[in-house]
Amino acid sequence: MIDTFQYAGTVKPGTQSPQRKIKQSNTKLILPDYALDGRPKKGSKSPLLPWIIEVKTPEEITKMKASGKLGRYILDLAGRAVAPGVTTDEIDTIVHEAILEAGAYPSPLNYHGFPKSCCTSVNEVICHGIPDDRKLMEGDVVNVDITVYLDGYHGDCSEMFVAGQPDPQAKALLQATYDCWIKACMFVQPGRDYKELGAIMEDHIAPLGFDSVRNFCGHGIGSVFHTTPNILHYRNNEPNGQMATGHTFTIEPMICEGSAKVLNWPDDWTATTVDGKRSAQFEHTLVITPDGVEAMTGKDENSMLQFWEKESQVHKGFWLGTSEAAKKRAETINAAILESS
């Protein structure tokens, strides 16, 4: 069949390998409720009002930190594989096998029918890119989005990687996206309104000539993949509630070089910019603490130090949170990595 769809840019769909299957005989693996039939059930029958947000117990937060730590490890593993000539399907294979080896489930797999174990979004692909046999090219910017389901809880994170060396425009986009994201993360503390996060991000990127996608948002997370609160990455006045200790959620802005309007591919997943210009995204799973916030998917001493972390005017080095515990961990790790870089 001839593909007559009008793609916006240079990225076109490649050939996908068959959808991976999880053996039902793997009784040690805890599966999310959609793993076998693609239909999430938990939390779907009684959608919450946007300001009703679950407060996690200490036991739940402990499990989520374990999921977040594993998610970070897998994301670092995937990022090291990004290079010219590598296919995104090869990255998905690395991700899939490593998650199963760790005794977890790759949350994207069969979520509403998604066919792969991670999302790989290249250049103008904003989000939900499906791994395939397209080889990465020199200068491609790639978002790898990882979520793991471990012991009944999801840990969700994403990061940008560059195949080879970035051009100056790509560097500017990635730096702006990272900085607006970290500014928003640093704002989080009990008692503040979730709607304020969008204004912080928009006020950073707009003077630089970038725009924020409005079709997708950050989200609450826990035993359910996507729930309240909804985190909008642009100025808004939505009643999405107030931050409180024990809330767990993601911040994941999608920032574009040009138009932030979305073109959806016929695969019903891949979303690109309408003008073919590039998009970038970063994501953490966060938990609000009495004294601030912690990134449960934060980096560790084995993670890669990226140029935007070295050159950021917002926060240099790895950002792990604003709580006293997070700041102490970051201080120790950053002292070593910044000195060696």
Numbered residues of the known binding site for substrate: 128, 226
* C-alpha pair distances (Å), 341 with each of 97, 136, 148, 306, 307: 31, 26, 30, 10, 10
Amino acid identity of residue 338, one-letter, is: L
Q: Is the peptide bond before 229 cis (omega within 30 degrees of 0)?
A: yes
Annotated binding site for a divalent metal cation: 145, 156, 219, 252, 283
Annotated binding site: 128, 145, 156, 219, 226, 252, 283
Amino acid identity of residue 123, one-letter, is: N
Q: How many CA atoms lie within 13 A of 193 on its CB side?
A: 11
- Cα separation, 302 vs 75, in Å, equals 12
Residue found under tokens 């919450």? 48
Residue found under tokens 């060396």? 165
Residues 6+ apart with CB under 8 A from 319: 182, 185, 186, 295, 298, 309, 330
Residues 6+ apart with CB under 8 A from 202: 180, 212, 233, 234, 235
Q: Which residues pair with 248 in a beta bridge?
A: 287
- Cα separation, 47 vs 195, in Å, equals 20
DSSP of 249-280: EEE--EEESS---EEE-TTSS-EEETT---EE
DSSP of 175-244: HHHHHHHHHHHHH--TT-BTTHHHHHHHHHHGGGT-EE-SS--EEE-SSSSSEEEEE-SS-------B--
Q: Which of 135, 137, 143, 139 is nearest to 165 (CA)?
A: 139
Q: Which of 129, 134, 126, 104 is nearest to 118 (CA)?
A: 129
Give yes or no for a contact between 115 and 16, defined as CB atoms under 8 angstroms apart.
Answer: yes
